[in-house]
Structure 1
């Protein structure tokens, strides 16, 4: 094979690369050296220096890759490979004994993987990226399905992703501690929530799954969710996150920390996944023996959750900028009877919330009927940033009066009119002596044909006889 390759090379020498392509690949090599430098800085304990080196390398790589599509002969996959390595190193995700310049083609499944990088991460960053001793980025294979899901989140679903992020920031103080207690990464919580409900606490699917993390009733009951004084706790953000974290950890143990199989079990049922996987818990979700046997919904679900989690970790690297949200929790004691709907009207677009505060207030007060007025002295959960605004806008003055007037408007109610009897779709005609089918069609006003009448009456040879009753289509 080597001799054949040499002979082929001699017979067809490669064309020299253009100067522009050489320059682009030179920038790619510099970015790669940035990766190696950051590795050495991380091992030396210089986490801040490594972060700066990685940011500079990523910026250089993005600038060079922007010209790849217009440069003949440029291979974009080479840029993406370096880009992927830089992002994973930014999470502290690399093998502790990896030498500079050495690359791994597949994420490692070893329990020791990522420990050197993890040790250099700030505590807050570890909580975002570590999953049962593994770097989350090592468990996300950057393959075709995940790339396709990234594109969907960044294009058609971009608005949904932004809404999910904003909703999550106001629920974070309730949901994130539940994941922390189970030593699970925040990015995973966000990815599941973004896909399941977009952060709409009262979401209910066609199949009956309910809440921000979409528990089916039986599964929720297994983890302590259910009716509590007339309230379904699947709609409680904190309780739902607790149950979800317990479920994820249970399935991670069952599938030997295989995150893809765990997510597939959450969507498609753990019983089915265990039957498909058997004892081989190291098998990839994308193995045809697994991937080809699950539903299309589950095939889409797994990479879409992982892609949302990945964007939560690396928004800037995908030209994505999440809004800054002050989600600090607060509360008010009502100084006048009001409902969530009325409160939404008088708060308006305070703090530049262009879509208003209805969704946030509903999410923070899941047990309240948004149309039901709460009595004076009731406590309602709101973002802390709205506490002073409530006192200014919603206690006295025109806005609460307007909100109350709109809320108490009377809409006339009338019983539905009786349904008109449906016209008979056919009429009857008694054949007279001398009638023909064509003549009957003409007498009938021309709204049917000889062929149609014959078909409706199962006539052979279009023959009719006197006294025969035919069905004709109604012309009305």
Structure 2
């Protein structure tokens, strides 16, 4: 049996979530019927017999009955809805079983109806399919085993189960989440839109890591939007780095570190893998309590473990937990969940994400160029009004954007820019202009300059609010790693009043 069909049978238990009165309808026989049905095959090129046409008519009646049950449930007539639903499911089960024993009966017709049900289950029950819900058209195509479905750019977007539970059922639409939704739709809207665009171009690197870990894509986007906005080289004041903001020690625990001089926390694929491993570790620890797990990612698993103790069923919003957490974490958890919710249901909030073709590509440089120079040549190609600098940086995280790469070097960029590079950045005025701007001479400051701080003082007393990164940046003559090693610091931790030894400026 095709692997995609097993997904259908696994999902069948979620099909009829209409209301508490009919939530636990008997669906196992229906799943069995579809298992039997998958064994039959259609006889293409022949006109259906009268018996096959009769089965198709019954199938259509069952489908209409299901939609009627949804409408009745929406109108509050639960008794009639349950009765109609029972009849339509019994008819569907019976017809599906007969199809397996009827020559010429096409099982694809039955799979299509089943997919139609999946797509309607979270809809508005008014006849329009909810393609922005937990099951969309691309997923339905995968479930039915349609050819070419895997090539759809959003084919896996709607896999939104978290360890057997629908993500939408795990997101409590409470006051804090609603407040975060308003923030994402107003003051944080530019960050949300930029995060979406950045993510679309990183998706081919990050989403497969979540998919392997059996985690929903919406959660990945929610964390990315809140942590870095999709800026691969983001670094916080506390030293967290990369698109998913790993602290150095935590990153080391999940395989992130320095590799040939490159901090792999800045690698989108490696960062997504480490993030997924961390979340699954904490989900096991907190018995699949998503809010506690997200909280642990922000405030530390040690603190959350001490607060929660053995009662992993406790709510994140329980005063014993919520009031003991810093304000940052109280805001962080609902913000991540709200961004994940908007990723799944944008149109329900009058939000329209741009259509992005994020297919990956690459070019072999025909002439030396830096990422900055390429940004100038590419201009606003493809309607990218903000330019391509961030995307080029994200896709080539190991490169200094100001350093020219030699001819023959391969650079990653969106596939749709391959032709633009060939037409704009190889010959003509744009690469000449870009090179001229890039190599412009900057006047040398000749005014007296105060001697470097570290040259006259080999020690520094840590002040309240200092971080190792802020100290290094302020002194301008040290590296974080060098200072950390000189002072035997664990995980780059410092405290107010501590006196640090500093290397001399060079």
TM class by smaller structure: 0.5 to 0.7
- Separation in 2, partners of 1:156, 1:315: 17
The worse-fitting range, judged by mean Cα deviation, of 332-341 and 41-50 is 41-50
Question: Residue by residue, what CA displacement relative to the aligned partner does 1:392-419 show, whole Å, maximum 9, x if unpaired?
Answer: 0000000000000000000111234367
Distance 1:167 1:88, change over 3 A: closer
CA apart distance, 1:127: 5.5
Question: Residue by residue, what CA displacement relative to the aligned partner does 1:356-399 show, whole Å, maximum 9, x if unpaired?
Answer: 00000000000000000000100000000000110000000000
Question: Does 1:344 pair with 2:375?
Answer: yes
- Separation in 1, partners of 2:174, 2:201: 32
The match for 1:430 is none
2:389 to 348, 353, 358: 358
Distance 1:271 1:170, change over 3 A: same
Q: Which runs of 5+ in 1 are unaligned?
A: 1-27, 61-85, 93-118, 420-476
The match for 1:403 is 434
The match for 2:304 is 273
Question: Does 1:369 pair with 2:400?
Answer: yes
The 3-state SS of whatever aligns with 1:128 is coil
Write out aligned runs for 1:286-325 (5 A): 286-325=317-356
The match for 2:264 is 233
2:134 to 91, 94, 98: 91
The match for 1:446 is none
- Separation in 1, partners of 2:228, 2:127: 34
Question: Residue by residue, what CA displacement relative to the aligned partner does 1:35-87 show, whole Å, maximum 9, x if unpaired?
Answer: 96998789966331563575454799xxxxxxxxxxxxxxxxxxxxxxxxx98
C-alpha contact 2:283 2:293 (8 A) present in aligned 1:
yes
The match for 1:108 is none
C-alpha contact 1:343 1:394 (8 A) present in aligned 2:
yes
Q: If the length of structure 2 is used for normalisation, what is the TM-score?
A: 0.63
CA apart distance, 1:138: 1.4
The match for 1:184 is 215
Question: Residue by residue, what CA displacement relative to the aligned partner does 1:96-117 show, whole Å, maximum 9, x if unpaired?
Answer: xxxxxxxxxxxxxxxxxxxxxx
The match for 1:46 is 114
1:252 to 283, 289, 293: 283
CA apart distance, 1:139: 1.0
The 3-state SS of whatever aligns with 1:46 is helix
Number of residue-to-residue matches in the alignment? 342
Higher-Rg structure is 1
C-alpha contact 2:132 2:344 (8 A) present in aligned 1:
no
RMSD of Structure 2 on Structure 1 (CA):
3.0
Question: Does 1:221 pair with 2:252?
Answer: yes
Question: Residue by residue, what CA displacement relative to the aligned partner does 1:245-282 show, whole Å, maximum 9, x if unpaired?
Answer: 00000000000000000000000000000000000001
CA apart distance, 1:184: 0.5
